[in-house]
Amino acid sequence: MSSLTKLLQEKKNEHSSTENSNSSLATINETKNAHGESAASTDSSHVKITRNGPTILRTTSRTLDLGQTQPRRTTTSVTTVTQIDSEDDNHHAHNIPTVSSSFLNSNFAHTASLYTSNAGSFIDNHNNNSYISPVSNSSFSNSNNVFPIRRDSLRSSNSISNGRNIPSLSSSIPYSVPNSNKDNSNNNHGSNNSHGSNNSSLTSSWLEVYGSSLPKNVSAIDSNIISSPQVDSVEPRFMISKQKLQSASQSNLQQTHGNSVSRSNSFSSQIGNMFFSKPSKDKQSSSPHHNNSHTNSDNHPTSPNTHVSHNSINGNNSTASSSNGTAIPKPTRARTTSIYSSSRQPSSSYTEATYGSPNNQYDNTNNNPPSQSIPRSHHSSISNLRSFFKKSSSNLNNSNNSNNSNVGSVPVPSNVSHQSSSKNSFTPGSYGSMNGETIYVASNSSGSHSSQSRENQLPFAKRYTRTGEDLGAGAGGSVKLIKRNSDSKIFAVKEFRAKFENETKRDYVKKITSEYCIGTTLNHPNIIQTIEITYENNRILQVMEYCEYDLFAIVMSNKMSYEEICCCFKQILTGIQYLHSIGLAHRDLKLDNCVINKDGIVKLIDFGAAVVFSYPFSKTLVESSGIVGSDPYLAPEVCIFSKYDPRPVDIWSTAIIFACMILKKFPWKIPKLRDNSFKLFCSGRNCDSLSALVTRTPEPPSYDNAKNADTERSGSCSNNTADRNNLNIGPQRLLHSLPEESQHIIGKMVDLAPACRANIDEIMEDPWIVSIEMCTTVDNGFKTGVITASDHTHTQVDQSEAHIAGLEKKKKEKNAAAAAATSSSKQNH
C-alpha cells in the first residue's frame, strides 16, 4: 500500500470508527420479512409525476398520473434505514390526514393539480421507529402542515432553529470542497478540516430530547429552515475595502468604457432602490455624480436596463433593448439585496449610500461618465458580484468551448449593453475588448442603433404589448407572453409577485434581485436569456426570451422518444456544467423549470433559488442553507443538514428529472424515510441510518484489493453495495427500471452520499453521456444557428397544452365538465 493510500486508509478508518460509533448511537430499525413485505406492498402503488410549483418550502404537489407501478413485494429480509426526523416531521406524520389530492391542490394556489392522485402510503417515524401507515386516498403532503414556514428561522443565525443547531454537511463528513471546476468532491475525502466540528454545536434542547442516542455527526431534520445562507463571520478576504473597490471600479471603467463596472453596482442598487427609499435623505445628499450613476444612455450603459444585443436562435437577431420604463423609485440602500452576498454581510462595512433624485436617476440624456457611479459602499454584495463577474468572464470561454456554443460570443453578462457612442468604441456587429477579453457586439435587429436607443427611452408599456396569454405561475410570480412592438418578436415576461405582508423588504428584494442578477449574468444556450428588467406601476417585470414549450408539458404528452429524452437530459447537464463552472448552483432543478424552444433547445429557468457556491480565487466552498427546492427532486442531504454543497444537490435533481422523463413518474415524493419508496431505495445497504449513508465518503483507491477496483469499475460507490439481484431495495430499485446504459451514471448521480455522488464533469465524461446526440446551437459571431441531432426530432405539442398554464386550464375545464355532468345526472334522477 502506498503511503498516500495508507494515509487515506487511516483517514477512512478514523472516519469509519466515527461512523460506527454513530451507528450504534443512532436509532436502528431493522425491518424483517413481514415488515418488509408490508412496507413493500404499500409502496409506490401510486406513481405519479407531480408538478411542484413554487420552490422554497413548498411541498404541495401538482399531481399528474402518468403511469402506474404495481405494488412490489419484498420477500427477502431487508435492513431498512432510520432517519431522525424533526419534531415537526414526526408531528406531521402522526397527524397524517386522510386528505384528498384535491385538498392538497387547493391548498396551494399556484400548484393546482392537473390530475388527481390516488392513494399514498406513509412511513411514520414514530419515536424514530418506522412503521407503515397506509393511507388510502391520500396524497403525500399537506402543504399547510409539512413545511410550515417559520419566519423566525429566517432571522436565526447559522441556522439555529427551534433551539437546535443543525450542523453543516461538510462539518459532518471529512471533506471540504475546493471550488475548482475540476474539483471532484470524490477526491476530497482526505481533507478533514471540519470533521466533527459540529459536535459542540448541538444545543442542549436537542440533547435533552434525544439524549445519548444522538450520533455525533447527525442532526435532526428540520424541515422548516428557510433562512438564507448565513455565516457567523465574514472572512477578511471577502471584505473589500472601499478604496480598493473604488480604484478597481475606476480601472475597470477605463478599460471598458463603463460597460461592466457599474452594472453589478447598478442591479443591486437599482432593485434595492425600488424598495429602500429614503427620500428625504436621498434628496439631501443627491449630487450630480450620484444623479448620474444610473444613467441609462447609449454612452453609459450602466443600468441593468441596458443590454447587449444577442443573436437569437435560428439566426434571428434578437435585440435586447434597453428600457427605462418608469423611473425606479429613488434608491436608498441595497444592503443584502443580492444573493451573492447574503451569506457574508459584514454589517459594519455597510456605508449608507445615497443617490440622486428619481427624476435624474435614469436620465437618458446625461452623458457623464459612469466612473462617477462610484460604488456607493464597500458592501460585500458589490464586491461579491464583481468577483462573480470576473469568474464568469474567465470561465465563459472555457464553457463555451466545451459546449460548442457561442463561438466568439460575449464573455460578459448576457445583457450588458455595448452600444456605440462617442465615448464607446463598440459598435454593433464588431469586436471590442472588455477586461482584456475580446467581445463581440451583436448587431441590432430592430433597426439602427439610434432608433433602438430612441425606443429604449419609451416606457415599457409602449414598447411591448401583452398578448394576455399565461404561460405559468409560481411562487415567484406569473409569466405571460408579450410582443415587442418594434419587431413583433414574442417574449415571456415574468411579473414578480408583490411582497408578502409578513415578508421583510430585505427578503423580498433579495429574492427578486437574485433572479435578476443571475438572469442577466448568464450567457449560455441552455440557460434562459434575460432581456431586461423594468419597474413599472409598482411591478417588477423581467423580460426573457420565449420558449414555446415547458419540458413538463412535453413529458406529459407521453410522446417523447428515448433519444429525445436523452438529448434533453444532456442539454440540462450542459446548462448545469456551465452554471457550476462559474460558481453557481440552481437548487431548484425540476421539469417545470426547463423550457424548450421549437428547435428543441432546452433552457433552464427560474433562478430564484440559485446560489453562489464559490468565488474566484477562493478554494472555499460556500455552503448553502435551507430546504430549498421541490420535494421529489430534493437531495436527501438537504432534508438533513442545515448546510450543504449545492452542486451535488443539482446533480441529484437532474437524475430525478431523467427518471421522471423515462418513467413518467417520480421515484418518491420526498427523500425522507417516511416515504416508503425512498426508504426502500435507501435500504439494503448494510447501514441502518440515513444520516450515516449520507455522510459516507468514497472508498480510497486500493491497489491491493482487486475487489474494490472491480466495484469501482462497475460503478458502485460505497453507498451502492446493496444486493444487485434484489430489485426491490437499494439503488437497483430505481436503476433497474432505467435503460441499462444509463444505470451506471444515474446510480452515481443518486448516490445518497454527496461526497460520493458524481460531479458534473465526471458525468459529462461518462461514455453514455458522451454518446448522446444532442441538439445545440452554434454561434459564428454573427448568427446563431441550431445543430439538430440526427437520431430524433423534438416533440411539439399543441400550444394550448404547451405550457403549465395551458395544462392547468385544461384540467380545470375537464373538472368543470365532469362536475356539470355529475350535477345534471343527479337532476335527472
Ligand X SMILES: Nc1ncnc2c1ncn2[C@@H]1O[C@H](COP(=O)(O)OP(=O)(O)OP(=O)(O)O)[C@@H](O)[C@H]1O
Catalytic amino acids?
588
Q: How far apart are CA 545 and CA 491, in angstroms?
A: 5
SS3 of 294-352: the string is CCECCCCECCCCCCCCEECHHHCEECCCCCCCCCCCCCCCCCCCCHHHCCCCCHHHCCC
Q: How far apart are CA 666 and CA 810, in angstroms?
A: 22
Distances from the Cα of 26 to the Cα of 10, 209, 218, 219, 225, angstroms: 24, 13, 8, 10, 23
Handedness of CA 418, 424, 428, 432 (dihedral sign): negative
Nearer to ligand X, 267 or 496 (CB): 496
Minimum distance from CB of 58 to ligand X (Å)?
7
541 makes contact with ligand X (CB under 6 A)? no
Minimum distance from CB of 590 to ligand X (Å)?
7
Q: How far apart are CA 745 and CA 734, in angstroms?
A: 13
- Could you count the other beta carbons within 10 Å of the beta carbon of residue 288? 12
Q: Given candidates 334, 551, 565, 595, which one binds ligand X under the rule CB under 6 A?
A: 595
Which string of x and - marks every residue 598-637 that binds ligand X (by CB under 6 A)?
-------xx-x-----------------------------
On whether 494 is known to bind a ligand per the annotation, the reply is yes
Nearer to ligand X, 475 or 756 (CB): 475
Q: Given candidates 12, 15, 31, 53, which one binds ligand X under the rule CB under 6 A?
A: 53
Cα 652 to chain center, whole Å? 12
550 makes contact with ligand X (CB under 6 A)? yes
Nearer to ligand X, 54 or 667 (CB): 54
Residue number closest to ligand X, CB atom: 474
Cross-strand partners of 784? 779
Nearer to ligand X, 84 or 471 (CB): 471
Minimum distance from CB of 388 to ligand X (Å)?
21
Q: Given candidates 690, 804, 806, 807, which one binds ligand X under the rule CB under 6 A?
A: 804
Kindly compute the dihedral angle of the four CA atoms of residues 165, 169, 171, 174, in this order, to the nearest 10 degrees.
Answer: 160
672 makes contact with ligand X (CB under 6 A)? no
690 makes contact with ligand X (CB under 6 A)? no
319 makes contact with ligand X (CB under 6 A)? no
Binding residues for ligand X restricted to 435-494, rule: CB under 6 A: 471-477, 479, 492, 494
Q: Given candidates 27, 38, 44, 54, which one binds ligand X under the rule CB under 6 A?
A: 54
Minimum distance from CB of 54 to ligand X (Å)?
3
Segment near ligand X (CB under 6 A); pick from 172-180, 228-236, 544-552, 699-707 = 544-552
Minimum distance from CB of 605 to ligand X (Å)?
5
Minimum distance from CB of 500 to ligand X (Å)?
13
Q: How far apart are CA 463 and CA 484, in angstroms?
A: 6
Please tell me the number of Cα atoms within 13 Å of 217 on its side-chain side: 30
Minimum distance from CB of 581 to ligand X (Å)?
23
SS3 12: helix
Nearer to ligand X, 363 or 592 (CB): 592
Burial 673-685 (b: 16+ CB within 10 A, else e): bbbbbbbbbbbbb
Which string of x and - marks every residue 86-105 that binds ligand X (by CB under 6 A)?
--------------------
Residue matched to cell numbers 472555499: 620
Q: Given candidates 593, 676, 697, 777, which one binds ligand X under the rule CB under 6 A?
A: 593
Nearer to ligand X, 110 or 570 (CB): 110
Q: Given candidates 547, 680, 682, 722, which one binds ligand X under the rule CB under 6 A?
A: 547
Region of 41 (left: φ > 0; alpha: ψ -120 to 50; beta: rest) is alpha
Let me know the angle formed at the C-alpha of 363 by 360 and 365, rounded to the nearest 5 degrees: 135
Nearer to ligand X, 174 or 608 (CB): 608
Minimum distance from CB of 107 to ligand X (Å)?
15
- How many residues bind to ligand X according to rule CB under 6 A? 27
| Nearest alpha carbon to residue 168 among 126, 229, 118, 226 | 229
User: Pairing state of beta strands 490-496 and 539-545?
Assistant: antiparallel
Minimum distance from CB of 162 to ligand X (Å)?
26
803 makes contact with ligand X (CB under 6 A)? yes
Segment near ligand X (CB under 6 A); pick from 68-76, 90-98, 306-314, 546-554 = 546-554
How long a stretch of residues is the chain? 829
Nearer to ligand X, 718 or 795 (CB): 795
Distances from the Cα of 319 to the Cα of 115, 443, 486, 782, angstroms: 40, 8, 10, 13
Q: Given candidates 308, 544, 579, 662, which one binds ligand X under the rule CB under 6 A?
A: 544
Nearer to ligand X, 484 or 494 (CB): 494
Binding residues for ligand X restricted to 573-592, rule: CB under 6 A: 592
Q: How far apart are CA 84 and CA 367, in angstroms?
A: 62
Minimum distance from CB of 662 to ligand X (Å)?
21
Residue matched to cell numbers 430585505: 506
Minimum distance from CB of 633 to ligand X (Å)?
11
Q: How far apart are CA 798 and CA 549, in angstroms?
A: 9
Q: How far apart are CA 720 and CA 731, in angstroms?
A: 6
Which string of x and - marks every residue 494-523 that binds ligand X (by CB under 6 A)?
x-----------------------------
Q: How far apart are CA 525 and CA 147, in angstroms?
A: 35
Maximum pairwise Cα distance, the chain: 86
55 makes contact with ligand X (CB under 6 A)? yes
Q: Where are the beta strands (DSSP E) in 148-198?
A: 160-161, 164-165
Nearer to ligand X, 374 or 473 (CB): 473
Nearer to ligand X, 202 or 481 (CB): 481
Q: How far apart are CA 283 and CA 285, in angstroms?
A: 5
Cα 169 to chain center, whole Å? 18
Residues contacting residue 752 through CB under 8 Å, at least 6 positions apart: 636, 682, 685, 690, 693, 694, 696, 719
SS3 449: helix
Give residues in contact with ligand X (CB under 6 A): 53-55, 471-477, 479, 492, 494, 528, 544-547, 550, 592-593, 595, 605-606, 608, 803-804
Binding residue numbers: 494
Binding residue numbers for ATP: 494
